[in-house]
Structure 1
Amino acid sequence: MTSASHPTATNQSLPLGDWLAFGDALRADDSPEGLLGEVVETLRRIVGSPCVYARLRDDESDTLHAVAFAGVEPQLAEQLQAAPVEPAQYQSLLRPEYRLSYSYLVPAEALPAGVPDTAAIAPAAALLTPLRGRGERLIGVIVIAWPQPPDLATVRMVEAIARQAALAVENVRLAERSARLLAKEQLLAELGRAVGATLDLDTILRQTVDRLAAAFGGGLVALLNETNDLLVAAAAPSLADMVGQRLPLLDGTLAWVAQSGQPFVIDDCRIATREALLFGPDVASCVIAPLRSGGRVIGILSVVSRRAGAFNDEDVDLLEAIAAQVSGPIVSAQLYAESQRLAAQVQRRADQLAVLNSIARIVTATLDLRESLPLATERIQQGFGYPQVDLFLIEDDASELVLVASAGQYAPSRVGYRQHINLGLVGRAARSGRIVRAEDVASEADYLGLSERLDIRSELCVPLIANGKTLGVLNIESPQPAGLTAEDAAVLETVADMLAGAVENGRLYQRAQQAAALEERNRLARELHDSVSQQLFSMTLTAQAARAQFERNPARVPALLDRLQETATAALAEMRALIFQLRPPALRDQGLVAAIQQHAQHLAHREGLRIELNVIGDERHARGIEQPLFRIVQEALNNIVKHAAARNVQIQLELTAEQVRIRVIDDGQGFDPSARPSGEGRHLGLLSMRERAAELGGTFAVHSRPGAGAEIEVVVPLRGRNAGSEEGMGRRE
Structure 2
Amino acid sequence: MEITLPRQQKLASELRRLRWTTIVAPVAFIMLLEFAQRSTADSLWRSPLGFVVTLLLVTAGAGFFALSVFRQIARFEARAAKRSAQIEALNRLAAATSENLDLATTVGRGLDQIVAATGADASLVCRLFADEEEHTAIGSRGFSPAVMQRIQRAKLAEDVIASEVVRSGQPVRFGNVLSDPDVRAISTKEGIMSGVSVPLMCSGAVNGIVVVAYRREYRFDDDDYAFLHGVGQHLGLAIHNAELYDASVAQNRELSALLDVQAATSSSLDLDDVLARALSAVTKLTRADEGEIWLSSGDGLVLHCRADAVNEPLLDITHSPHGKGLLGRATVTGKTIRVVAGEPDFNDALTARGYRVCCAVPLCFRGSSVGVMVLAASEASSMSRRSELSLLDAIGDQIAPAVENANLHRKIQEVSIMQERERISREMHDGMGQILGYVNTQVLAVRKLLDSGNTVTALEELRHLDAAARSLYADVRDNILALRSAPGEQGFTAALAEYITSYREMFGIDAVLEVAPEVERVRRTPTCEIQLIRIVQQALSNVRQHAVATSVQTRLSVDCDTLVVEVSDDGAGFDPEALPATGRPRFGLQMMRERAQAAGGTFDIESHVGRGTRVVVRMPIER
The TM-score normalised by the length of structure 1 is 0.49
> Which of 339, 343, 348 is residue 443 of structure 1 equivalent to?
343
> Judging changes above 3 Å, is the alpha-carbon distance between structure 1 residues 294 and 494 closer, same or farther for their aligned structure 2 residues?
closer
Residue aligning to 2:372? 473
Residue aligning to 1:712? 618
Q: Give the whole-Å Cα distance in 1 for the aligned partners of 2:462 and 2:451.
A: 15
Q: Give the whole-Å Cα distance in 2 for the aligned partners of 1:454 and 1:300.
A: 39
> Judging changes above 3 Å, is the alpha-carbon distance between structure 1 residues 456 and 300 closer, same or farther for their aligned structure 2 residues?
closer
String of CA shifts for 1:576-619, please: whole Å, max 9, x gaps: 3423433479x9999569559969x99xx9xxxxxx99958799
> Which of 479, 502, 525 is residue 578 of structure 1 equivalent to?
479
Deviation at residue 448 of structure 1 after TM alignment: 3.8
2:371 is paired with a residue whose SS is strand
For residues 39-188 of structure 1, the aligned pairs below 5 Å read: 58-59=16-17, 177-180=72-75, 182-188=77-83
> Which of 408, 430, 441 is residue 530 of structure 1 equivalent to?
430
> Judging changes above 3 Å, is the alpha-carbon distance between structure 1 residues 537 and 668 closer, same or farther for their aligned structure 2 residues?
closer
Residue aligning to 1:246? 164
What is the identity, as a one-letter code, of the residue corresponding to 2:161? V
Q: Give the whole-Å Cα distance in 1 for the aligned partners of 2:380 and 2:365.
A: 31
> Judging changes above 3 Å, is the alpha-carbon distance between structure 1 residues 562 and 429 closer, same or farther for their aligned structure 2 residues?
farther
Deviation at residue 178 of structure 1 after TM alignment: 4.7
What is the identity, as a one-letter code, of the residue corresponding to 1:340? A
What is the identity, as a one-letter code, of the residue corresponding to 2:479? L
Deviation at residue 322 of structure 1 after TM alignment: 2.6
Asked if the contact 1:516/1:684 (under 8 Å) is kept, the reply is no
1:378 equivalent to 2:280? Answer: yes
Asked if the contact 1:440/1:457 (under 8 Å) is kept, the reply is yes
Residue aligning to 2:39? none
> Judging changes above 3 Å, is the alpha-carbon distance between structure 1 residues 480 and 452 closer, same or farther for their aligned structure 2 residues?
closer
1:393 is paired with a residue whose SS is strand
Asked if the contact 1:289/1:320 (under 8 Å) is kept, the reply is no
> Which of 400, 413, 416 is residue 516 of structure 1 equivalent to?
416
1:321 equivalent to 2:223? Answer: yes
What is the identity, as a one-letter code, of the residue corresponding to 2:466? Q
Asked if the contact 1:221/1:235 (under 8 Å) is kept, the reply is no
Deviation at residue 570 of structure 1 after TM alignment: 3.4
Deviation at residue 343 of structure 1 after TM alignment: 0.4
Q: Which runs of 5+ in 2 are unaligned?
A: 21-68, 98-105, 148-158, 185-193, 487-492, 541-551, 569-574, 578-589, 605-614
> Which of 348, 352, 369 is residue 271 of structure 2 equivalent to?
369
1:392 equivalent to 2:294? Answer: yes
1:465 is paired with a residue whose SS is strand
> Which of 92, 96, 100 is residue 197 of structure 1 equivalent to?
92
1:353 equivalent to 2:259? Answer: no
Deviation at residue 226 of structure 1 after TM alignment: 7.5
String of CA shifts for 1:20-57, please: whole Å, max 9, x gaps: 8x99xxx9xxx98xxxxxxxxxxxxxxxxxxxxxx999
Residue aligning to 1:3? none
Asked if the contact 1:392/1:401 (under 8 Å) is kept, the reply is yes
Residue aligning to 1:45? none
2:382 is paired with a residue whose SS is coil
Q: Give the whole-Å Cα distance in 2 for the aligned partners of 1:467 and 1:372.
A: 19
Asked if the contact 1:291/1:324 (under 8 Å) is kept, the reply is no
> Judging changes above 3 Å, is the alpha-carbon distance between structure 1 residues 553 and 615 closer, same or farther for their aligned structure 2 residues?
same
String of CA shifts for 1:603-657, please: whole Å, max 9, x gaps: xx9xxxxxx99958799999xx9x999856434558999xxxxxxx9964459xx
RMSD value, Cα: 6.4
Asked if the contact 1:435/1:462 (under 8 Å) is kept, the reply is yes
Deviation at residue 552 of structure 1 after TM alignment: 4.9
> Which of 382, 407, 422 is residue 507 of structure 1 equivalent to?
407
Asked if the contact 2:198/2:229 (under 8 Å) is kept, the reply is no
String of CA shifts for 1:425-454, please: whole Å, max 9, x gaps: 45314652623523324322x544447952
Deviates more, 1:483-492 or 1:432-441: 432-441
Q: Give the whole-Å Cα distance in 2 for the aligned partners of 1:398 and 1:204.
A: 61
Deviation at residue 207 of structure 1 after TM alignment: 6.8
Residue aligning to 2:304? 403
Q: Give the whole-Å Cα distance in 2 for the aligned partners of 1:414 and 1:379.
A: 19
Asked if the contact 1:390/1:406 (under 8 Å) is kept, the reply is yes
Q: Give the whole-Å Cα distance in 2 for the aligned partners of 1:435 and 1:295.
A: 35
Deviation at residue 346 of structure 1 after TM alignment: 1.0
> Judging changes above 3 Å, is the alpha-carbon distance between structure 1 residues 381 and 638 closer, same or farther for their aligned structure 2 residues?
same
Asked if the contact 2:161/2:177 (under 8 Å) is kept, the reply is no
Q: Give the whole-Å Cα distance in 1 for the aligned partners of 2:443 and 2:281.
A: 66
Q: Which runs of 5+ in 1 are unaligned?
A: 1-15, 33-54, 63-173, 264-274, 305-309, 606-611, 642-648, 670-678, 691-700, 718-733
Q: Give the whole-Å Cα distance in 2 for the aligned partners of 1:449 and 1:712.
A: 60
For residues 220-231 of structure 1, the aligned pairs below 5 Å read: none
Q: Give the whole-Å Cα distance in 2 for the aligned partners of 1:224 and 1:328.
A: 18
1:489 equivalent to 2:384? Answer: no
1:332 equivalent to 2:250? Answer: no
> Judging changes above 3 Å, is the alpha-carbon distance between structure 1 residues 58 and 322 closer, same or farther for their aligned structure 2 residues?
same
Deviation at residue 514 of structure 1 after TM alignment: 1.6
What is the identity, as a one-letter code, of the residue corresponding to 1:369? L
Q: Give the whole-Å Cα distance in 2 for the aligned partners of 1:339 and 1:654.
A: 55
Q: Give the whole-Å Cα distance in 1 for the aligned partners of 2:229 and 2:499.
A: 80
> Judging changes above 3 Å, is the alpha-carbon distance between structure 1 residues 562 and 248 closer, same or farther for their aligned structure 2 residues?
closer
Residue aligning to 1:143? none
Q: Give the whole-Å Cα distance in 1 for the aligned partners of 2:322 and 2:418.
A: 36
Asked if the contact 1:535/1:567 (under 8 Å) is kept, the reply is yes
Q: Which has the higher contact order (CA 8 A, sep 6+)?
A: 2
The TM-score normalised by the length of structure 2 is 0.56
String of CA shifts for 1:307-330, please: whole Å, max 9, x gaps: xxx99xxx8xx8222333333332
Residue aligning to 2:246? 344
String of CA shifts for 1:131-179, please: whole Å, max 9, x gaps: xxxxxxxxxxxxxxxxxxxxxxxxxxxxxxxxxxxxxxxxxxx997253
Deviates more, 1:363-372 or 1:503-512: 363-372
> Judging changes above 3 Å, is the alpha-carbon distance between structure 1 residues 338 and 452 closer, same or farther for their aligned structure 2 residues?
closer
Q: Give the whole-Å Cα distance in 1 for the aligned partners of 2:466 and 2:312.
A: 60
2:304 is paired with a residue whose SS is strand
> Which of 358, 361, 367 is residue 459 of structure 1 equivalent to?
358
Deviation at residue 476 of structure 1 after TM alignment: 1.0
